[in-house]
Amino acid sequence: MTAHLARICRFPVKGMSAEDLDRVRLTVGQTLPGDRRFAIARGSAGIDPTEPGWLPKSNFVTLVRTARLARLTTRYDADTGDLAICRGGRRVAHADITDPTGRAVIDQFLAAFLEGDVTRMPRLIDAGGNALTDAAEPLISVINLASVRDLARVTGMPVDPVRFRGNLLLDGLAPWAEWRWLGHSIEIGAARLQAVEAIERCAAVDVNPETGVRDTNLPKLLKRGYGHVCLGVYATVTADGTVATGDPVTGPMA
- Average pLDDT over every residue of 226-248: 97
pLDDT of residue 50: 67
pLDDT above 70 (res 120): yes
Torsional sign, CA 246, 248, 252, 254: positive
* Strand ranges in the chain using DSSP code E only, listed in sequence order: 4-10, 19-21, 23-26, 38-41, 72-77, 82-87, 90-96, 123-126, 140-144, 168-171, 185-188, 191-200, 230-239, 241-244, 249-250
Q: Residue 118: which pLDDT band, with cuts at 50, 70 and 90?
A: confident
150: amino acid identity, one letter = D
Q: Can you tell me the distance from the alpha carbon of 41 to that of 95, in angstroms, rounded to the nearest whole number?
A: 18
- Comma-separated ranges of CATH 2.40.33.20 domains in the chain: 4-31+135-250
State the average pLDDT for the chain. 93
- With beta carbons less than 8 A apart as the criterion, state whether 248 and 4 touch: yes
How many CB atoms sit inside 10 A of residue 160's CB?
12
The three-point CA angle 54-164-115 to 5° equals 65
| pTM, two decimal places | 0.94
Q: How far is CA 96 from CA 36, 101, 122, 236, in A?
A: 16, 8, 17, 31
Q: Residue 159: which pLDDT band, with cuts at 50, 70 and 90?
A: very high
pLDDT of residue 253: 57
- Average pLDDT over every residue of 109-117: 93
**What distance separates the 2 farthest-apart alpha carbons in the chain?**
50
Q: Can you tell me the distance from the alpha carbon of 59 to that of 183, in angstroms, rounded to the nearest whole number?
A: 31
Looking at domain 4-31+135-250, which CATH architecture does it have?
Beta Barrel (2.40)
DSSP state of 219: H
Residue-wise pLDDT for 74-88, tens only, equals 999 999 999 999 999
- Average pLDDT over every residue of 127-154: 95
Please tell me the least confidently modeled range out of 7-11, 113-117, 244-248, 249-253: 249-253
Between 55 and 96, whose confidence is greater? Answer: 96
Half-sphere exposure for 115 (CA within 13 Å, toward CB): 4
Q: Residue 152: which pLDDT band, with cuts at 50, 70 and 90?
A: very high
